[in-house]
């Protein structure tokens, strides 16, 4: 069934849309496809690390988006008016909560002080409960049949809700943009560009097709569900490409205190040809409940077999492309991965094995600046750094510069 102009749409103008022959069955499938994709991504992020607050908020928010997708598809595909009316009410109730989750996620992701304030967090989620309890009949009037299935007819307060929705989205974007301009990491800026593009364009298009078109009396296919997929896919790309939203995870905690009491806020240099002792110290710490991350020249599968670590995130220094791989020339990305981990960990340790390979792939001066920046992150986040170094791979002057900034272990 092709799309045609609507002649019986109450109090609305007609508009000839460029995709006037969109198949009916494909249009009805869009919300259900969006539901599958968005719910899968939400659960995937939660599964990667359910302990992190930002992962839990992301999951909850996108499950609400998925629920909106599902209820929209159910409303449009009903044959009975009363069923369509019920699903439209369910859909609008879910939609009321989405702006609150969008705003709250941006605050948690940006580590804004408002996200830690219980009163402000409660206030953020108060409007959807208020709208659902008192204003739903004034925002949602009824449903009507269109050539593309049932759709709801907005009530007198619908323009007010649309305006509030727009203001929340703009404020959320301002938080992301502020975070983008404040960061100096190229890798972190790359993540924010992906998120901003993946969020801004679908938001604008979705607001116009799903909200403003109703306010202006223009009939357009409601493609908000389709645009929501672009948002979730942009986050998925950031997750897979830049390890966004993943880290840290704890190993199984052993009883008692670790044998090696490394002081927090300190970077340690371990002079050894093979990093055996460094790995023993690292394992001792993470097996006692301390979050750990490994940047290694040794393949992670070998590290897991030899050391016995299962959950600790590991990144392989190599020029080979891969999900868990880091190019040795991209020192800014390595620094971003570690600094992101440190910000999320209350008690942590970092093992950087492969400084010789980094020096070979860059210059010693570049690597030294990287070590200095890494040491600053360790100090600011009250963490620990274990740096195994083969003294035969460096000159006496170079070893002196390395020892100067670090504690010999």
Q: Which has the closest alpha carbon to 387: 334, 347, 340?
A: 334
pLDDT tens per residue across all 409 residues of the chain: 333 333 344 444 333 333 344 455 678 889 999 999 999 999 988 887 777 788 889 999 999 999 999 999 999 989 899 999 999 999 999 999 999 998 998 888 777 788 878 898 899 999 999 999 999 999 999 998 888 888 888 999 998 888 888 888 888 888 888 877 776 666 667 777 887 888 888 888 888 888 888 777 777 788 889 899 988 888 888 776 666 655 556 676 676 677 888 899 999 999 998 999 999 999 888 888 888 999 999 998 888 887 777 778 889 999 988 777 899 999 988 998 898 888 777 788 999 999 999 999 999 999 999 999 999 999 988 999 999 999 999 999 999 999 988 888 8
Q: Which has the closest alpha carbon to 185: 132, 255, 244?
A: 244
Distance from C-alpha of 42 to C-alpha of 53, rounded to nearest angstrom? 13
* pLDDT of res. 244: 63
Burial class (CB in 10 A: 0-12, 13-18, 19+), 235: buried
Under CATH, which architecture does the 24-242 domain have?
A: Up-down Bundle (1.20)
**Contacts with 279 (C-beta within 8 Å, 6 or more apart), sequence order:** 303, 306, 307, 351, 353
Could you confirm whether domain 266-408 is CATH 3.30.565.10?
no
Q: How far is CA 126 from CA 35, 58, 123, 174, in A?
A: 26, 19, 5, 22
CB neighbour burial string for 93-107, b if at least 16 within 10 angstroms, e if fewer: bbbbbbbbbbbbbbb
Question: Other C-beta atoms within 10 Å of 206: how many?
Answer: 22
Helix (H, G, I), strand (E, B) or coil at 112: coil
**Helix%, strand%, coil% for the chain, nearest 5:** 60, 10, 30
Are 263 and 384 a contacting pair, CB within 8 Å? yes
Rg (CA), the chain: 26
pTM: 0.68
Q: Where are the domains of the chain?
A: 24-242, 266-408
Q: What is the dihedral of CA 324, 330, 331, 332, to 10 degrees?
A: -90
Distance from C-alpha of 207 to C-alpha of 46, rounded to nearest angstrom? 28
Distance from C-alpha of 26 to C-alpha of 149, rounded to nearest angstrom? 12
Please report the beta strands in 248-347, taking only residues with DSSP state E, as ranges in sequence order: 266-271, 291-296, 314-317, 325-326
Helix (H, G, I), strand (E, B) or coil at 299: coil
Positive or negative CA dihedral for 23, 27, 28, 32?
positive
Task: Please count the CA atoms within 13 angstroms of the CA of 40 that sit on its side-chain side.
Answer: 9
**Contacts with 263 (C-beta within 8 Å, 6 or more apart), sequence order:** 384, 407
Distance from C-alpha of 297 to C-alpha of 325, rounded to nearest angstrom? 10
């Amino acid at each position: 069934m092709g799309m045609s102009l609507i002649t019986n749409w109450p109090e609305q103008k007609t508009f000839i849309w460029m995709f006037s022959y969109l198949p009916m069955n494909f249009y009805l499938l869009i919300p259900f496809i969006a539901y599958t994709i968005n719910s899968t991504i939400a659960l995937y992020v939660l599964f990667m690390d359910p302990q992190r607050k930002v992962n839990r908020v992301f999951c909850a928010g996108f499950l609400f988006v998925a629920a909106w997708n599902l209820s929209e598809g159910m409303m449009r595909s009903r044959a009975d008016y009363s069923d369509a009316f019920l699903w439209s009410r369910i859909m609008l109730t879910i939609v009321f909560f989405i702006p609150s989750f969008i705003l709250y996620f941006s605050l948690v992701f940006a580590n804004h002080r408002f996200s830690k304030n219980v009163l402000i967090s409660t206030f953020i989620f108060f409007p959807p409960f208020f709208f659902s309890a008192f204003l739903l009949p004034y925002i949602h009037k009824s449903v009507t049949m269109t050539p593309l299935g049932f759709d709801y007819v907005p009530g007198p307060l619908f323009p007010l809700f649309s305006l509030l929705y727009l203001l929340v989205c703009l404020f959320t974007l301002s938080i992301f943009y502020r975070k983008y301009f404040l960061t100096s990491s190229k890798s972190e800026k790359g993540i924010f560009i992906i998120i901003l593009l993946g969020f801004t364009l679908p938001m604008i298009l979705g607001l116009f097709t799903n909200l403003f078109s109703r306010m202006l009396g223009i009939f357009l296919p409601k493609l908000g569900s389709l645009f929501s997929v672009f948002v979730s896919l942009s986050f998925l790309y950031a997750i897979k490409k830049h390890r966004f939203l993943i880290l840290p995870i704890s190993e199984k905690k052993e009883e008692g205190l670790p044998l090696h009491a490394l002081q927090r806020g300190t970077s340690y240099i371990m002079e050894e040809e093979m990093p055996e002792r460094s790995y023993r110290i690292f394992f001792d710490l993470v097996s006692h409940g301390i979050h750990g991350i490994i940047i290694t020249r040794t393949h992670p599968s070998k590290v897991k077999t030899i050391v016995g670590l299962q959950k600790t995130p590991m990144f392989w220094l190599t020029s080979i492309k891969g999900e868990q791989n880091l190019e040795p020339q991209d020192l800014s990305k390595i620094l971003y991965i570690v600094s992101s981990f440190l910000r999320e960990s209350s008690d942590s340790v970092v093992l950087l094995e492969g400084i010789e390979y980094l020096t070979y792939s860059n210059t010693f001066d570049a690597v030294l600046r990287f070590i200095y920046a890494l040491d600053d992150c360790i100090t600011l986040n009250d963490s620990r750094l274990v740096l195994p170094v083969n003294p035969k791979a460096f000159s006496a002057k170079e070893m002196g510069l390395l020892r100067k900034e670090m504690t010999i272990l």
